[in-house]
Amino acid sequence: MIPAIGLLVGVLLGLILHPTVPLWLQPYLPIAVVAALDAVFGAFRSVLDGIFNDRIFVISFLSNVLVAALIVFLGDQLGVGSQMSTGVVVVLTMRIFANVAAIRRHLLKA
Amino acid sequence: MGMHSAPRPARTSAEARFRLIRSLKPAMSRTQIMITVLFVVLGFATMAAIRGNPASTLLANARQSDLVSLLDDLAQREARLQSEISRLETARETLLGGDQYQALNEAKRRATALGKLAGTEPVSGSGITIAISGNLTASTLLDAIQELRDAGATAIQISDSNLDVRVVANSWFGDSENGVTVSGTALEVPITITAVGDQSVLTPAMKIPGGLEDTVGSGGGTVTITPTDDATVSAVVPLPTS
């Protein structure tokens, strides 16, 4: 419950403060957000699977974000930045869909 | 939260819902606080990413070749618009600042030019006259007229010994007893075609193989082409009323 409120607070803060993303962060932020979303949906799934562990969640959240940003950074250095971000987003989105499907099966048995 | 729930998947959807709701219950622990902080950051970052994504990224993501062609398009368009601006400004200044009759003169000049094309104005200038005698059919004459038009004749008239007929866009040709009919006027062979235009183009156009000279010549007639600096097309058609 508290994390949900935290999410709301973050969204409101973003709406109020109109943050400008620094230029060096711009390629990585969207990827990081998608990676974090993947971790969140994975957490919901593991709650329903009965294997949720908040320590693992925190670590997976942070490592997801870091690894995703790192891969895109590496792609940028190799000159395939946009293709790499596309690839990362595709993989993460597939995982999100798989997690959502598992959650749906748990909740609705369908 | 892990204490009561066995590490196994939820068996029923009711159990799943129960687990979900229980996971949302507030519980204070260090990791809960950390998760909350992460969620605050996630929400903030999401909004930042959404806001920091204006429409200009459309250009940022475009390939270099696309950008170059886009720039070229814009430059070309600008040049076109600039030339149109200067053209219109010149016209405006001529109309405003010049002689007060200049606009009228311009309009008259255009009326004369259009009159020559429409056949309502007499035209004279350098051109050719073609005298045709012998057997002449309407289709041969039509071919000759088309050939003259293709060769850039600005005005054409067809005359016999006492009648002149101007050839305009809606002229028609028909065969008659001892000659041809042009737009309803019967002309008797021999006839003379007067065409105003470039002599050096018109003359060869009449002499090409299979052209007027060939056709009339093979039918036993004669064609005489005379270049002249004073070709006069005097016949006019009445101005259409509508």
Q: What digits encode the pLDDT tens for the residues B155-210?
A: 999 998 888 899 988 889 988 888 888 888 888 888 999 999 998 999 988 888 88
Is B64 domain-assigned? no
pLDDT given for residue B195 in this prediction: 93
Q: Is the pLDDT of residue B3 over 80?
A: no
Above pLDDT 70, what percent of chain B? 90
> Closest chain B residue to A27 measured between Cα atoms?
B49
Judging contacts by C-beta atoms under 8 Å, the chain B residues touching residue A36 are 38, 42, 45
CB contact under 8 Å between A21 and B48, yes or no, is yes
B38 with B129, same domain: the answer is: no
Q: Is the pLDDT of residue A90 over 90?
A: yes
From A8, A14, A55, residue closest to B48, measured CB to CB = A14
Residue B128's pLDDT band (boundaries 50, 70, 90)? very high
B222 with B137, same domain: the answer is: yes
B20/chain A closest Cα distance in angstroms: 7
| C-beta of residue A104 within 8 angstroms of C-beta of residue A46 | no
Residue B24's pLDDT band (boundaries 50, 70, 90)? low
CB contact under 8 Å between B49 and A61, yes or no, is no
What's the average model confidence in pLDDT over B220-231? 89
The residue among B47, B51, B58 with the most chain A CBs within 10 A of its CB, best to mutate, is B47
Q: What is the DSSP string of B111-170?
A: HHHHHHHHT-S-EEEEEEEEEEES---HHHHHHHHHHHHHTT-SEEEEE-SS-EEEE-TT
d(CA B134, CA B195): 20
Is B146 domain-assigned? yes
From A9, A48, A50, residue closest to B43, measured CB to CB = A9
| C-beta of residue B12 within 8 angstroms of C-beta of residue A50 | no
Which residues, at least 6 apart from B183, have a Cβ–Cβ distance to it below 8 Å?
B165, B170, B171, B172
Helix ranges (H only) for chain B are 13-24, 30-51, 57-60, 64-97, 102-118, 138-150, 199-207, 212-218
Residue A3's pLDDT band (boundaries 50, 70, 90)? confident
Is B132 domain-assigned? yes
| C-beta of residue B162 within 8 angstroms of C-beta of residue B144 | no
From the number of C-beta atoms within 10 Å of its C-beta (0-12, 13-18, 19+), residue A53 rates as middle
Residue A99's pLDDT band (boundaries 50, 70, 90)? very high
Is B170 domain-assigned? yes
> Closest chain B residue to A22 measured between Cα atoms?
B52
More confident residue, B47 or A95: A95
Is B55 domain-assigned? no
CB contact under 8 Å between A50 and B26, yes or no, is no
> Closest chain A residue to B44 measured between Cα atoms?
A10
Nearest to B49 by CA among A82, A68, A94, A27: A27
Q: Is the pLDDT of residue B154 over 80?
A: yes
More confident residue, A24 or A92: A92
Residue B240's pLDDT band (boundaries 50, 70, 90)? confident
pLDDT given for residue B27 in this prediction: 65
Judging contacts by C-beta atoms under 8 Å, the chain B residues touching residue A32 are 45
pLDDT given for residue B73 in this prediction: 93
DSSP 8-state symbol, B62: S
CB contact under 8 Å between A58 and B52, yes or no, is no
A32/chain B closest Cα distance in angstroms: 9
What is the pairing mode between strands B123-133 and B155-159? unpaired
In this structure, what CATH number is given to the domain that contains residue B162? 3.30.70.1880
B41 with B135, same domain: the answer is: no
Q: Is the pLDDT of residue A96 over 90?
A: yes
CB contact under 8 Å between A1 and B43, yes or no, is no
| Ramachandran angles phi, psi of B233, nearest 5° | -100, 100
| Total count of domains within chain B | 2
From the number of C-beta atoms within 10 Å of its C-beta (0-12, 13-18, 19+), residue A25 rates as middle
CB contact under 8 Å between B7 and A107, yes or no, is no
| C-beta of residue B194 within 8 angstroms of C-beta of residue B206 | no
Is B39 domain-assigned? yes
A19/chain B closest Cα distance in angstroms: 6
Q: What digits encode the pLDDT tens for the residues A22-60?
A: 778 888 888 888 999 999 899 888 888 888 888 888 898
Q: What digits encode the pLDDT tens for the residues B76-126?
A: 999 999 999 999 998 888 777 766 677 788 788 888 888 888 888 888 889
State the amino acid at position B114 in one-letter form. L
Judging contacts by C-beta atoms under 8 Å, the chain A residues touching residue B57 are none
A71/chain B closest Cα distance in angstroms: 18
The interface pTM score, or ipTM, of the predicted complex is 0.80
pLDDT given for residue B72 in this prediction: 93
Q: Which domain holds residue B169?
A: 123-233
Average pLDDT of chain A is 86
pLDDT given for residue B7 in this prediction: 67
CB contact under 8 Å between A48 and B10, yes or no, is yes
Is B7 domain-assigned? no
Residue A109's pLDDT band (boundaries 50, 70, 90)? confident
Tell how far CA B92 is from the center of its chain: 25
